[in-house]
Structure 1
Amino acid sequence: MSTPFTEAAGIPVSDPTPVTTFSPVVLPVPGRIVDLQIKVSAPSTGSDLPVILLSHGHGPSNFVSSLHGYGPVADFWAAHGFVVIQPTHLDSMTLGLRESDDPEAPLYSRSRAEDMRHILDHLDRIEAAVPGLAGRLDHTRIAAVGHSMGGHTVGMLCGQRVTDPADGTPVDAADARVKAGVLMAAPGRGEDLAPFATEHYPVLGTTGFATMTTPALVIVGENDWNAAFSDRKDWRADAYHLSPCPKSLLTLFEAEHGLGGVSMYDAAETTDENPERVAALRALTWAYLRTALYPGDSAWADATAALTSMPNPLGSVESK
């Protein structure tokens, strides 16, 4: 007889509530080749709700890298009190723009950060567009979460810097409205990028973390290593090690780039599918953001204590 999967892998979280999801909300953006489409997932009850902007990765699937992906984490966070807003960035396979002659293609790194800032600029419009959401958001408690290239996007909002490969100008997309970030399996330091990735994704070769001052949780998989990106096996932890305090690092044991399957329910591209790993990740992220956005909330301390006290913990946490 199989063991049922859990929602939070033994990490203490709040009681869940029903979730309402509404999409697409369409936001016109001057100069953007297509309108910005987003999905909004929210608790069906409650007010003064904190917000998570969730940035998808650059993965190979047709629909995972869009507003349609990341259900295992988005659904959970919405059920536990956050309003989750998911944009479809220009590098999404659904838009067919990766092979365009746009100098930002294929990653659209600057546009990704601009998408997130545009959402923040128009939260009132988003509230009005979603039935039953008007007046329920807390515009002062905003976090950004991203996976893979989405983690790079969140890093930019938190102060990480890159240089635009098209014209050599520095890009500063930091946004003080983002009070905390979570970078899941994000790219590391640019100077350690492998030649293959430098050729195909030159903007990643300029990534630096010295100015990434916003509090953040960096999540890495113990076995998330691809020589096409870097020779260093700890490369994806650079956002923790090379940025200023305060930061925390969650290392998920035996996890690969999919971190157990954060991007989609039963996604074929998840090489390390493990629902309990995802349950731990989303619960620990929830706890981190509760404490980051509500100083004095003990959720993060309670969660890390629960993790370390497990007979066979799924990961480890360190902070600076």
Structure 2
Amino acid sequence: MLDAVVDGDNSDVAHMARSSFTSEFHFSRQVSRSTGEPPAAIRRRVMLERAAWRLQHGDGVAVVAAEEGWSSPEVFSRAFRRSYGVPPSRACDVEFRLAAPNGLHFHPPQSLWVDSANRVDGASPPDVSHLMLAHDVADTAHLIGTAGELTEDQWAEPVSPGQVILDWDGEEPSVGAVLDAIVWAKEVWLASIEGRDQPDRPRLRPAARLADDHAAVAARWTAMVSRHAEQGRLGDTVIDALCDPPESFQLYGIVAHVLTFSAHRRELARAMLARHGVLAGRGDPLDWMRRT
């Protein structure tokens, strides 16, 4: 609907509605309800913001007035002065953004921008680290589930013989080995953080068991990160005596390490699954956000 509002070919609400395959009444009601602003008002403000930006970048008043939909330069100049308090010739003296009840603005050169602090639904975007944690868990679960389509032989088949991601983890030549290593990394690091004994690494787990183990460790992992973040303790240091010699790791460094190599392994697993004829999508957080 917002595409229709700012489409240069839609000169009024009737045109906007037709291009969205809906009635004018329904279109106006939905846009107003979703944005807190009638579609005509949004279009007028966004066009004025774009006009101001173009003037600031050297376009002439007559050209901008004609191309942004005003009937004449005089009508455009009056509208500009009412909104900005200065004539178009002084566009460089003002910020091109106008006050908006929904934080919706023109964004150069041809896009829209919505300020998160002004979202009509009151929601705020997640912290990027929380987003990456959630996506890592969801994408790993997706890959393990997708790999469940493989036969037992395909799960363990060394399609990438000699493949080593981290020296201390050994070879990961199969889809199962790579996905198992993602889960194992969280299990090992959680043991260090929670003060547990170093777990014994299991043999290659079948997909069904790995899915269950992943669900369990993912819940503990995300809870641990969230708890320490809320307490302001992600800068705490673990001195791991299980290493020889002992090593020091700050919690936020551990989280970054786990996420980095999990992402690497997930993409390897995708490529390896494709060699078995199984497609698992791109693993793009943007795609995941759209679906969820």
For normalisation by structure 2, the TM-score amounts to 0.23
For normalisation by structure 1, the TM-score amounts to 0.22
Q: Work out which of the two has the higher radius of gyration on C-alpha atoms and give 1 or 2.
A: 2
Relative to its length, the structure with more helix (as a share) is: 2
